C-alpha cells in the first residue's frame, strides 16, 4: 500500500473511527487541508472542530473501507459507516488529494443513507491495470454521449446487456433514465485503477441538483457493474467551505 493510500486510510480508521484526530493532523495531513464535505469548515481546525463534536454525538463507530484505489495524486474510497449500533448508517464515497509526500491536502465526499448490503458490500479486486486509461476513456465517452447528450440508443455500446445495478431505487438503469429527468451538468473528476472507474459529477435528477459518484466495473471494454452514491447540493448560504466541487 502506497503512503498516500495508507494516509487516507489512517485518516478514516485512526481519525474518524478511533478518534485520534491530533494523530491525523500531525502525521497524515499536509501543511494545509482544503475541505469540500458538507457542514465541515475548511482547514485542519475545521476538521478537528467538526469531529470533536461528532465523537460526542457518535461514541460508537463501526467504519469499514470497502473499496479503495489510487490514481496519480488522488485516492478514492468507498466506505460504510454504522454509528451508535445502527442509530445511523451511511455510505460515503470520497476523493482525497495528496501532496508530493503522500499527505492529504484536500477532500471531497458524498454521503448517502445505507439501505441494503448490496449497495456497498461485495468483492473487490483490481484487474487489468494496463487498461486503466482505456477504461477511463470508455466511461468519459459514456457520460458525454449517454448522460449529457442523452443518446440513450448508444447505451449498449458502453454497457453489457447484463449490467448489474446496485442502487436500491434502480432495477433497470436504462428504464430509470427514461422515467426520470437525469442531466449531468458537469463531470468534475474521473479516476481509475484497472477494471474500476469512478466519476464525480454534478447531476440534476428530477430538477434537483446532486453531487453524485458513479462507480463502474468494466470487463472487456464494457460496463458490467454500477454503484451510485448521491447527496443533495447544499444551498450556497449554508456552505461552511468552498462547496462540493
- Domain residue limits, the chain: 3-119, 129-232
pLDDT in tens, 194-227: 999 999 999 999 999 999 999 999 999 999 999 9
Up-side HSE of residue 212: CA atoms within 13 Å toward CB?
21
Q: How many CB atoms lie within 10 A of CB 101?
A: 11
pLDDT score for 9: 98
Over residues 100-125, mean pLDDT: 97
pLDDT in tens, 12-47: 999 999 999 999 999 999 999 999 999 999 999 999
pLDDT in tens, 55-83: 999 999 999 999 999 999 999 999 999 99
pLDDT score for 208: 97
pLDDT score for 184: 98
Q: Kindly list the distances between the CA atom of residue 230 and the CA atoms of 3, 15, 40, 144, 200, in Å, as whole numbers in the listed order.
A: 29, 24, 18, 19, 10
pLDDT in tens, 138-177: 999 999 999 999 999 999 999 999 999 999 999 999 999 9
Nearest CA to 132 out of 222, 223, 194, 198 is that of 194
Over residues 173-202, mean pLDDT: 97
Is 129-232 the same fold as 3-119?
Answer: yes
Q: Topology of 129-232 in CATH?
A: Nuclear Transport Factor 2; Chain: A, (3.10.450)
Tell me the whole-structure pTM to 2 decimals. Answer: 0.97
Pick the CATH number of 3-119 from 3.30.70.560, 3.30.365.10, 3.40.50.720, 3.10.450.50: 3.10.450.50
pLDDT score for 173: 94
Q: What is the 3-state secondary structure (H, E, C) of the chain?
A: CCHHHHHHHHHHHHHHHCCCHHHHHHHCEEEEEEECCCCCCCHHHHHHHHHHHHHHHCCCEEEEEEEEEEECCEEEEEEEEEECCCCEEEEEEEEEEECCCCCEEEEEEEEEECCCHHHCCCCCCCCCHHHHHHHHHHHHHHHHHHHHCCCHHHHHHHEEEEEEECCCCCCCHHHHHHHCCEEEEEEEEEEEECCEEEEEEEEEECCEEEEEEEEEEEECCEEEEEEEEEEECCCHHHCCCCCCC
Q: How far apart are CA 90 and CA 117, in angstroms?
A: 11
Amino acid at each position: 500500500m502506497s503512503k498516500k493510500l495508507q494516509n487516507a486510510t489512517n485518516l478514516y480508521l485512526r481519525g474518524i473511527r478511533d478518534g485520534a484526530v491530533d494523530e491525523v493532523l500531525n502525521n497524515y495531513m499536509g501543511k494545509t487541508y482544503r475541505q469540500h464535505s458538507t457542514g465541515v469548515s475548511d482547514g485542519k481546525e475545521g476538521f478537528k472542530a467538526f469531529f470533536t463534536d461528532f465523537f460526542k454525538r457518535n461514541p460508537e463507530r463501526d467504519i469499514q473501507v470497502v473499496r479503495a484505489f489510487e490514481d496519480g495524486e488522488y485516492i478514492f474510497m468507498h466506505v460504510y459507516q454504522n454509528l451508535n449500533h445502527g442509530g445511523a448508517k451511511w455510505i460515503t464515497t470520497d476523493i482525497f488529494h495528496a501532496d508530493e509526500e503522500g499527505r492529504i491536502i484536500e477532500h471531497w465526499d458524498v454521503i448517502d443513507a445505507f439501505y441494503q448490503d448490496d449497495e456497498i458490500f461485495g468483492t473487490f479486486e483490481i484487474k487489468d491495470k494496463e487498461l486503466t486509461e482505456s477504461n477511463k476513456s470508455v466511461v468519459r465517452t459514456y457520460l458525454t454521449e449517454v448522460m449529457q447528450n442523452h443518446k440513450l440508443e448508444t447505451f449498449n455500446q458502453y454497457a453489457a446487456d447484463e449490467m448489474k445495478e446496485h442502487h436500491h431505487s434502480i432495477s433497470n438503469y436504462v428504464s430509470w433514465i427514461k422515467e426520470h429527468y437525469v442531466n449531468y451538468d458537469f463531470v468534475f473528476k474521473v479516476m481509475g485503477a484497472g477494471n474500476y472507474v469512478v466519476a464525480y459529477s454534478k447531476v440534476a435528477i428530477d430538477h434537483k441538483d446532486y453531487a453524485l459518484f458513479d462507480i463502474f466495473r468494466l470487463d472487456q471494454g464494457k460496463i458490467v457493474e454500477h454503484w451510485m452514491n448521491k447527496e443533495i447540493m447544499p444551498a450556497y448560504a449554508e456552505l461552511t467551505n468552498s462547496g462540493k466541487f
